[in-house]
Structure 1
Amino acid sequence: MHRSRVRYLLLAIATIVAGLATRAFRGVLPDAIGAYAGDVLWAAMVYLLIAAAWNRAPVQRVAAGAAIFSLAIELSQLYHAPWITAVRQTRMGGLVLGFGFLWSDLACYAAGIALAAALDHGLRSRSAARIQAA
């Protein structure tokens, strides 16, 4: 059973829009949402992009890949060479690579990956049920 790449790319785009909205409207959101939702959504987006790329991979493998990628990005924030600092100063570089290591980001990434994996599992189960019913 494979995932629809288009569906997962659209979900990833919607997640990006939601994540950017949490940054843009941070001042009017409750503190916890303003502080952590962007990181949760970032990790969910990573999951969705991996799921779209490897559309036949099991949920657990996609989740592991998203967790490894997210951890690598977070650990890279401990590295402060001038060239990577310059990349992080750009809008896209800052959004993708972040700025400074935070333990709380790891918890947010775990939550985002878990939410995306639950969504993925639900979508795949629903698709499988439809196929069996046909």
Structure 2
Amino acid sequence: MNELKRGIYLLLIVIMIIFGLASRANGSSHPAFLAENAGDALWAAMVYFGFRFLFVRKSLQTAMLLSVLFSFGIEFSQLYQADWINQIRNTLLGALILGKGFLAVDLVRYTAGIIVAVFLDWCIFIRSNPRK
């Protein structure tokens, strides 16, 4: 069962990446609210599903806490602006993972993305199989 769950979490990670990149690439074709907020929420949801993939036997609450700590840690790390880390942030992959500059509203976006991911996870694995 754990291998099936890992496969589903991996699929969800890929879906979050695809939707997240699409939200950035085609932002002007989306409603303003989605264009401004979806990318960060999807990034945080991807982080959540990543923790679920890695720690499939742990609780939803554990994955949620780790996701919040990781996402907030990345955001607060953007307050640190040394040349070496800014060179990493100036690459496409570095910008996607580390971001570029601190925005307090991103913390709200991350929290919303994680909450939606936890709810989706609950619907797939807990609600559909109440004995587990």
TM over 0.5: yes
Deviations 1:27-51 (A, max 9, x none): 1111111011000000000000000
Query: Normalising to structure 1: TM-score of the pair?
Result: 0.92
Gaps of 5+ in 2: none
Counterparts of 1:60-75 in structure 2, within 5 Å, are 60-75=61-76
Q: In structure 1, what is the equivalent of residue 80 of structure 2? A: 79
Residue 125 of structure 1 and its aligned partner are, at CA, apart by: 1.7
Amino acid at match of 2:99: G
Gaps of 5+ in 1: none
Amino acid at match of 2:109: C
Q: In structure 2, what is the equivalent of residue 9 of structure 1? A: 10
Equivalent pairs counted in the alignment come to: 131
Q: Percent identity?
A: 43
SS at match of 2:129: helix
**For the residues of structure 2 that align with 1:6 and 1:93, how far apart are their CA atoms?**
26
**For the residues of structure 2 that align with 1:103 and 1:54, how far apart are their CA atoms?**
28
**For the residues of structure 2 that align with 1:61 and 1:100, how far apart are their CA atoms?**
28
RMSD: 1.6
Residue 126 of structure 1 and its aligned partner are, at CA, apart by: 4.4
SS at match of 2:66: helix
**For the residues of structure 2 that align with 1:107 and 1:126, how far apart are their CA atoms?**
26
